[in-house]
């Protein structure tokens, strides 16, 4: 397992959830929810978070269907990840499978007593935690960085 902090990102149409982990890569925790409607402002804020947290990489959840295919949402996330990668280079950006992350996050919040209305902005952070924690566990189990690296296209 590589040592270093990582940021996890759950890209949604309205909001972007952000999570971080400790330098040992043991535990992912929520950071904030970034409004996604103003794309340039969202990209700026994500770049600020990368500068603040100084991660060794950024992990972005890639929404796949249950069968593993990619649809319009995955294409949109790939485009967002490409913009993030250009903005935060040389920090690598990786795409990891995020199937069921929002469902898992919503269930966890509901189980802890958070109502859907109160938890709407926090569910994106919780989904980012699930994405990042899954990536950390995959690296620990497999010994190599999870997912696919986003190539920076200028």
Q: What is the pTM of this model?
A: 0.87
Tens of pLDDT along 26-51?
999 999 999 999 999 999 999 999 99
List of domains in the chain = 6-149 (3.30.420.140)
Residue 38 gets which letter from DSSP? S
For residues 143 and 154, give the distance between their C-alpha atoms in angstroms, rounded to a whole number: 31
Nearest Cα residue to 6 out of 93, 90, 83? 93
Confidence tier at 136 by pLDDT (50, 70, 90): very high
Which segments within 66-133 are labelled E, that is strand? 93-97
Confidence tier at 124 by pLDDT (50, 70, 90): confident
Between 124 and 60, residue with greater pLDDT: 60
Tens of pLDDT along 73-111?
999 999 999 999 999 999 999 999 986 555 565 666 566
């Amino acid at each position: 397992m590589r040592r270093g902090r990582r940021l996890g990102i759950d890209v949604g149409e309205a909001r972007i959830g952000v999570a971080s982990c400790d330098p040992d890569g043991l535990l992912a925790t929520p950071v904030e929810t970034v409004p996604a409607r103003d794309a340039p402002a969202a990209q700026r804020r994500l770049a600020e978070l990368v500068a603040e947290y100084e991660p060794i990489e950024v992990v972005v959840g890639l929404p796949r269907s249950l069968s593993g295919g990619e649809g319009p949402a995955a294409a949109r996330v790939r485009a967002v990840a490409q913009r993030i990668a250009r903005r935060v280079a040389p920090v690598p950006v990786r795409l990891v499978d995020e199937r069921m992350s929002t469902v898992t996050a919503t269930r966890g919040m509901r189980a802890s007593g958070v109502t859907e209305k109160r938890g709407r902005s926090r569910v994106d952070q919780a989904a980012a935690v699930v994405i990042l924690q899954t990536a950390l566990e995959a690296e620990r189990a497999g010994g190599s960085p999870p997912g696919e690296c986003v190539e920076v296209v200028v």
